[in-house]
Amino acid sequence: MEPLDVLVYLAKFVAFLLIFIPWSLHVVYRFTQTKWALFAKKSHKIPEKLIDDYDHKFVKLSGVRLHYVEEGDMTKPLLLFVHGFPEFWYSWRYQIKHFAKTHHVVAIDQRGYGDSDKPEGVENYSAKVLAQDIQEVIKQLGHEKAILVGHDWGGAVAWFTALIYPEVVSKLIIMNCPHPGAYEKVMRAVKSQILKSWYIGFFQTAWLPEITIGLDDYWALDVAFRSKFAGLKNQQNFTDEDAEAWKATFSQKGALTPPINYYRALVRGRDEAVDIINRVAKPSTLIIWGEEDPFLAIECAEYSQKMCQKAKVAYVPGSSHWVQQDKPEEVNKIMEEFLN
Ligand SMILES: *[C@@H]1O[C@H](CO)[C@@H](O)[C@H](O)[C@H]1NC(C)=O
Ligand SMILES: CC(=O)N[C@H]1CO[C@H](CO)[C@@H](O)[C@@H]1O
């Protein structure tokens, strides 16, 4: 080997060390940053204003202790707000103060959610148990009846409360949630609804839904509440601070399983509930429907109306599934007209 060749060889070797090795390390580093970040847990904190600007309380029921936020005059009629999945009392932030002028406003964390108790086991989240919680909350807060307002799963619980305990519901306001009997009819009649309900099947599996929702710092929550996928055109009402509140709530230990258990209990308990779900809702009912809901076919509104003694449907054009947060002014106005 000539000395010059040796020099060239050495130069290449040094270049290799200087370029290739740092590059490889960089690639490995990037890999750990992105792929491992999928499983990394960031810490989240409830924004101060959620704690300071609202009156937080607890109510003890026969099975669980529930957390709630309260505003307004307790001698006025009770307006009881029940949130959906995956949400908590704060989903009603555009309604709580607004209706406090005219009502005793209470927004609960349903069992298994937020600061409320989270009993174990799928059976503890059956629709009958959830409806019983609502009936007990009304009594414990010193009222005979409530105007019950429910959205999504909170809507389902409100429907079940009206079907099982009609005597405690003076009026029913439902947002983007079908009457349980109507839902089954829509599943048979409207083919697209089966596709829209894909996640209910997924939620029947163990562990996998919890892991998936937690991936990449609860990316699923961003997709659900802040993306076009969710039917959102106007995203201004879901601020970064709101997203932080959501992530702080659902990143608490064991915070995902109880909400998913609602779906597991629904499917397992279907046959037992069959006599309840085909009942007609007796209270005077208002159905508010955000038209751009990717999870529920718009036909659900009309089918639900037919399962009520007396019901009015108000469609909200351009609204996502999260109608009371997406179009608060419209929703509050529709509610006021119905309440007066
Ligand atoms: C339901 O919750 C109670 C506590 O509230 C608990 O004692 C019971 O074991 C739970 N049921 C199941 C099936 O896990
Ligand atoms: C806080 C906020 O951005 N509120 C907006 C929510 O959306 C309505 C339109 O439906 C706006 O009018 C609000 O200002």
pLDDT of residue 235: 67
Cβ of 328 below 6 Å from ligand 2: yes
- Measured from the alpha carbon of residue 65, the closest ligand is 1
H helix count then E strand count, the chain: 16, 8
> Which tokens sit at 166?
């009609």
- Residue with the smallest CA separation from ligand 1 atom 3 is 119
Atom of ligand 2 at shortest range from CA of 236: 3
Burial label for 203, CB within 10 Å (0-12, 13-18, 19+), is: buried
Task: Retrieve residue 293's tokens.
Answer: 């809901």
Structural domains in the chain, sorted by start:
34-339 (3.40.50.1820)
Q: Contact 289/313 with Cβ under 8 angstroms?
A: yes
Cα 235 → chain centroid: 17
Q: Which H/E stretch holds residue 55?
A: strand 55-60
pLDDT by 10s per residue, the chain, length 340? 667 677 777 777 777 777 777 777 777 777 667 666 667 778 999 999 999 999 999 999 998 999 999 999 999 999 999 999 999 999 999 999 999 999 999 999 999 999 999 999 999 999 999 999 999 999 999 999 999 999 999 999 999 999 999 999 999 999 999 999 999 999 999 988 888 888 888 898 888 899 889 888 898 999 899 888 777 765 678 999 999 999 999 999 999 999 999 999 999 998 889 999 999 999 999 999 999 999 999 999 999 999 999 999 999 999 999 999 999 999 999 999 999 9
State which ligand 2 atom lies nearest to the alpha carbon of 234: 7
Whole-Å CA distances, 161 to 136, 200, 286, 297:
11, 22, 15, 23
Residues with catalytic roles: 152, 263, 321
pLDDT recorded at residue 6: 74
Please give the distance, rounded to the nearest whole angstrom, from the Cα atom of residue 229 to the centre of ligand 1: 36
**Is the beta carbon of 124 within 6 A of some atom in ligand 1?**
yes
Kindly give the distance from the C-alpha atom of residue 208 to the centroid of ligand 1, in angstroms, as a whole number.
Answer: 22
Instruction: Please check whether residue 161 is in contact with residue 285, taking contact to mean a CB–CB distance below 8 angstroms.
Output: no
The total of other beta-carbon atoms located within 10 Å of residue 19's CB is: 10
Quick one: which H or E segment has residue 65?
Answer: strand 65-71
pTM over 0.85: yes
Nearest listed ligand to the Cα of residue 268:
1
